[in-house]
Structure 1
Amino acid sequence: MPFQQELTHHYGPQVHIIDSPFLNGLLARLCSPESFQPEINRIVEVLYTHLISITVNNEFTIEKFEEPTRMTALHPGKKLQGTRIAASQKAVSVNLARAGTYPSHICYNFLHYSLPAPSVRQDHIFAARVTNSKEAVTGAEFGGMKIGGDVQDAHVIFPDPMGATGNTMVTAIDHYKTHIPGPAKKFIALNLIVTPEYLKNLLKAHPDVVIYALRLDRGLSPQAVLEATPGQFWDQERGLNDKQYIVPGGGGFGEIMNNSFV
């Protein structure tokens, strides 16, 4: 049977849910109650390294190249030919603290392998959930930010492990679109896990955003909906409990990644 690289769904062409047995197993291990630091961050590094690699290959401009190798001196005229990521691009990785801090650092470092240093930047936004008296999430609040310049023609990447309600991502992209000189070439969300609610809220607010994720969680949906193709009964799908935590999920990633349970 041929390997299916992406999950089949009805959420639209902007959504890419990677279907990789290796990454699926590793993400399941990360979500296990038996997983602790420092294993947690080691797994996160592997997962995000694969996710940013897939994203760059799919979303960035590709160019042809021809270069000499160490053997060219012995065989004049014989050079290596192939394709690579075009260096004439810009990228910004946005740290949505705190769960996004380490994933953004991983993506920021990775981008330097393809693009020249002056074309790669990391921004920082300190975000927190806003909840009501019933502990339901009502929005996102920014406590501060460090944004290092414009995003003109840049790929703006938001590595945030848990795509739960979408409030933080919506607010962050809103800020870049309305307050930071651009326009950006693309806004890209990089999530380990997403819910149907997250996809609906984010795409409604920003239909131009591109979403890459490793897993779709909709564990509180009716059984008949779970047996259907994801997105076929989008309005009936549910992946969030009453406190807006993902089910089956993996708990609070901001907490487990920082060993700080507040």
Structure 2
Amino acid sequence: MRNVHHITHPLVQHKLTLMRRSDASTTTFRTLLNEVSSLMAYEVTRDMPLQDVEVQTPLETMTGQMIDGKKLVFVSILRAGNGILEGMLSVVPGARIGHVGLYRDPTTLEPVEYYFKMPQEMAERDIIIVDPMLATGNSAIAAVTRLKQLKPKSIKFVCLLTCPEGLAAMGKAHPDVDIYTAAIDRELSEHGYILPGLGDAGDRIFGTK
């Protein structure tokens, strides 16, 4: 799939492997997630537009280039998406933040929306959706569908892990959305979890397992 970007940087892969370990503490998991998210942010924002600005150096005036972080919105799919936000914001601190509250029905595995809050004037903004997992793809598809109603300039999706099933579902529903991931794992379990995966990201981030 041409719109799938597999981030294979050695530091990302090293830290992700440490996160997968079942004996990693909640504190360790959060710290690693923050670090991995920061590293991934560099790849995700690689094509962000720049604008010329005049700056005064200690020696003379020059024209440099800067991004307009206020035009970027990080959208977290609650609750696990919040674990990625801090790392992303460390790279683009001026970005706005939106939240989509979705939970997965344990029987149907379909997403149910319970919260939606975005900045104003979304038609002028680029959106980066963050969620640690792209598993069945149902939540991601629902979030993208909802956000497209606001007609943003662009939408990207960032996750730590995904699998062939999730990529196929997302690609079929939203072929125009680029996906950035640190790993494409083997498959989904019968309960909708990524294998080999790293367990329930939300539980591991917030210590609620």
Common fold: TM-score over 0.5 = yes
1:97 is aligned to 2:78 = yes
> Which residue, out of 2, 6, 11, partners 1:22?
11
Match of 2:137 in 1: 166
Match of 2:56 in 1: 68
- 2:19–2:198 contact (8 Å) kept in structure 1: yes
TM-score normalised by length of structure 2? 0.91
| Greater strand proportion | 2
> Which residue, out of 124, 128, 148, partners 2:99?
124
| Residue 91 of structure 1, CA deviation | 1.0
1:190-232 per-position Cα deviation (integer Å, ceiling 9, x unaligned): 11111111111111111111111111112xxxxxxxxxxxxxx
The letter of the residue matching 2:27 is P
1:240 is aligned to 2:188 = yes
Aligned-pair identity (%): 24
Provide the secondary structure at the position in 2 that maps to 1:168: helix
- 1:95–1:105 contact (8 Å) kept in structure 2: no
Distance in 2 between residues matched to 1:80 and 1:252, nearest whole Å: 50
Of structures 1 and 2, the larger Rg is shown by: 1
Distance in 2 between residues matched to 1:149 and 1:69, nearest whole Å: 35
| Unaligned stretches of 5+ residues in structure 1 | 1-10, 219-238
Q: Alignment RMSD, CA only?
A: 2.0
> Which residue, out of 128, 131, 140, partners 2:111?
140
Distance in 2 between residues matched to 1:255 and 1:43, nearest whole Å: 15
Match of 1:201 in 2: 169
**How has the CA–CA distance of structure 1 residues 55 and 37 changed in structure 2, closer, same or farther, with 3 Å as cutoff?**
same
Match of 1:232 in 2: none
The letter of the residue matching 1:140 is P
Provide the secondary structure at the position in 2 that maps to 1:215: strand
| Residue 108 of structure 1, CA deviation | 3.7
Match of 1:87 in 2: 68
Match of 1:54 in 2: 43
TM-score normalised by length of structure 1? 0.73
Provide the secondary structure at the position in 2 that maps to 1:170: helix
| Residue 42 of structure 1, CA deviation | 0.5
Distance in 1 between residues matched to 2:68 and 2:27, nearest whole Å: 34
- 2:53–2:66 contact (8 Å) kept in structure 1: no
Provide the secondary structure at the position in 1 that maps to 2:30: helix
The letter of the residue matching 2:16 is L
| Unaligned stretches of 5+ residues in structure 2 | none
